[in-house]
Amino acid sequence: MHAEAKKLGKTGLVWLRRDLRVHDHPALAESLKDNDTTYVVFVFDSEVLNPIRKYTTVDTRLHFIAESLAEIQQELNKAGGQLIVLEGNPITEIPELVTQLGVDTLYFNRDYAPYATDRDAYVSKAIQDQGKLVRDFRDHVCMEPNDVLNLQGLPYKVFTPYSKAWKKTLSEQKSEPDYTVKLTKLGETDKYPILDTVEALLDLAGFQSSPAYLKGGSQAGLTRLQQFAPYLGQYKANRDFPALDKTSMLSVYIRHGCISVRDMLSLAMSESNVGAETWLNELIWREFYQMIAYHYPHVKGHTFQEKYRDLEFPYDEQLLQAWKDGMTGFPIVDAAMRCFNETGWMHNRLRMVVSSFFCKILLLDWRHGERYFRLGLLDYEFASNNGGWQWAAGTGCDAAPYFRIFNPTTQSQKFDKEGKFIRQWCPELNALDNKSIHEPHAPNNSSSSLFIGNYPAPIVDYKSRRQEALALYKSVQP
């Protein structure tokens, strides 16, 4: 990887992965600048999709990706080009395509997930073994995993010093190269059909149409970025209240690269106030977790902190299923899970509430919760999902201490005081007043006689389970 050429060839191939856009795109901009002809390809990765196909052919994330690809196809078509879309293992598909098209140089933007780094190393070696060139670029993050290290040259394990060093590095960086994309000199081929509809793209991937809660594509992402901009200054004050809908909801767009990290950073740096600073810190958290996953790949399936490696959570299938179904008897947890099940989206405050409840009240292994989110989150990203779950479980780097346990009732009373979010997703509780809705089955609840449909009583006793959790964690403390 990182191979540079003294003299680039005349034909380039740009491999799209998690950068589904044609603006502010390093790999695409450089290939168009360097070559007489540029081809563009996307591969539906069978290694990723085969496990999903085993249990479903309906996945809203694939629909989101297909919408993004259809938009790219239309943009390239307008400029006289074509998006080549394949299905298979990129390890074989990309080198074969390079040979078929007579490509001199493969271009792509780097990915830092464990699977992606291994895949890209295989592909790069295969291309170089053909005597061809490979050029890859920083794109998905502002700071790559080795860009921000401590004074000993080691990766940080705690967010705050990492964040300070990240900001210092940013202030010292030279200006970014110009990655403006001018869609000219594009290649097309009759060897592959032009797939320009969502249905045709999904059919190739082996999935059915199932529209996502959020529309895919750069135009939708940039529009949402513009819509959020007026609320940036109030982000810190408003971000914890799910009923307000004042978060950006851009995570799915940055995860798939429909907008660039530079689009996000530009907005964060456009104002000097506590809201913009808070939003910038969220971008840095994202890069912190990507750095952790890159340097400590054992977090895939294992606790970051060694002292928790042997921590055994009790397993209860009924509790797990009740949590998944949004039927725990804790309204804010249930509202969050029902919203997630229907939309693939969950507000960040609620992610913390439901994951803390899962690990430290239901006493379920964080890996089960991480997997359920992985299967359903529109914005699923290994590093952030893993980091968030290990933070909640107290097993990760810079994790919430084991004795910090979110009380779902007080969280609900504080961040959904009038029960608006709860009423939206737990309509059987609509008749309850603003106080009773947080604890509908409480003995002293003045509204307890009101009809609440089939809403369950709490499946566990919060106070006793909290004590069990503290005892469990204390048992492995040094």
What is the per-residue pLDDT across 293-331, written as a single tens digit (0 to 9) for each? Answer: 999 999 999 999 998 988 889 999 999 999 999 999 999
Distances (CA, A) of 340 to 227, 237, 287, 343, 472: 23, 24, 24, 5, 29
pLDDT of res. 477? 80
> In this predicted model, what pLDDT tens digit does every residue of 72-127 receive, in sequence order?
999 999 999 999 999 999 999 999 999 999 999 999 999 998 899 999 999 999 99
195, part of any domain: no
pLDDT of res. 445? 63
Shared domain check, 244 and 323: no
The domain boundary, picked from 295, 317, 352, lies at: 295
Shared domain check, 171 and 95: no
Q: How many domains does the chain have?
A: 3
Shared domain check, 259 and 241: yes
The domain boundary, picked from 295, 328, 351, lies at: 295
Shared domain check, 368 and 235: no
CATH code of the domain covering residue 225: 1.25.40.80
Shared domain check, 287 and 430: no
N- to C-terminal Cα distance for the chain? 43
pLDDT of res. 246? 86
Which among 448, 154, 141, 179 has a CA at the least distance from the CA of 265? Answer: 141
pLDDT band, residue 155 (cuts 50/70/90): very high
* CB within 8 Å of 85: residues ≥ 6 apart: 41, 42, 43, 44, 69, 73, 192, 195, 201, 204
pLDDT of res. 173? 86
187, part of any domain: no
The more confidently predicted of residues 310 and 169 is 169
- Does residue 447 register a pLDDT over 60? no
pLDDT of res. 11? 97
Shared domain check, 290 and 344: no
Where b means 16+ CB within 10 Å and e means fewer, 55-90 reads: eeeebbbbbbbbbbbbbbbebbeeeebbbbbbbebb
Can you tell me the mean pLDDT for 35-51? 96
Shared domain check, 397 and 443: yes
What token pair was written down for 418? 């009038």
Shared domain check, 256 and 121: no
Shared domain check, 51 and 131: yes
Over the chain, what is the mean pLDDT? 93
pLDDT band, residue 4 (cuts 50/70/90): very low
Please give, one letter per residue, the 3-state secondary structure of 278-342.
Answer: HHHHHHHHHHHHHHHHHHCHHHCCCCCCHHHCCCCCCCCHHHHHHHHHCCCCCHHHHHHHHHHHH
Please state the separation of Cα 36 from the chain's center in Å: 36
Can you tell me the mean pLDDT for 256-281? 96
The domain boundary, picked from 243, 273, 295, lies at: 295
Is residue 458 within 8 Å of residue 329, measured between CB atoms?
A: yes
3, part of any domain: no
Length of the chain: 478
Shared domain check, 452 and 359: yes
Can you tell me the mean pLDDT for 143-161? 96
Shared domain check, 280 and 168: yes
Residue spans of alpha helices (H) in 377-460 = 382-393, 408-415, 420-425
Shared domain check, 237 and 350: no
423, part of any domain: yes
**Among residues of the chain, what percentage have pLDDT more than 70?**
96
Q: What totals of helices (H) and strands (E) does the chain contain, helices first?
A: 20, 5
CATH code of the domain covering residue 331: 1.10.579.10
Can you tell me the mean pLDDT for 28-38? 96
pLDDT of res. 422? 97
Cβ burial, residue 209 (10 Å; 0-12/13-18/19+): middle
pLDDT of res. 446? 56
212, part of any domain: no
pLDDT of res. 442? 78
Can you tell me the mean pLDDT for 143-156? 96
Q: Which residues span the domain enclosing 372?
A: 306-474
Q: What pTM did the predictor assign?
A: 0.92
Please state the separation of Cα 473 from the chain's center in Å: 29
> In this predicted model, what pLDDT tens digit does every residue of 462-472 receive, in sequence order?
999 999 999 99
CATH code of the domain covering residue 78: 3.40.50.620
Can you tell me the mean pLDDT for 207-231? 94
Q: Which of 4-8, 152-156, 216-220 has the lowest mean pLDDT?
A: 4-8
Distance CA(403)–CA(467), nearest Å, equals 10
188, part of any domain: no
105, part of any domain: yes
pLDDT band, residue 29 (cuts 50/70/90): very high
What token pair was written down for 340? 């997630």
Distance CA(373)–CA(203), nearest Å, equals 25
Can you tell me the mean pLDDT for 28-40? 96
- Hey, what amino acid is at 153? G
pLDDT band, residue 271 (cuts 50/70/90): very high
45, part of any domain: yes
What token pair was written down for 323? 């949590």
Is residue 5 within 8 Å of residue 105, measured between CB atoms?
A: yes
Can you tell me the mean pLDDT for 331-339? 98
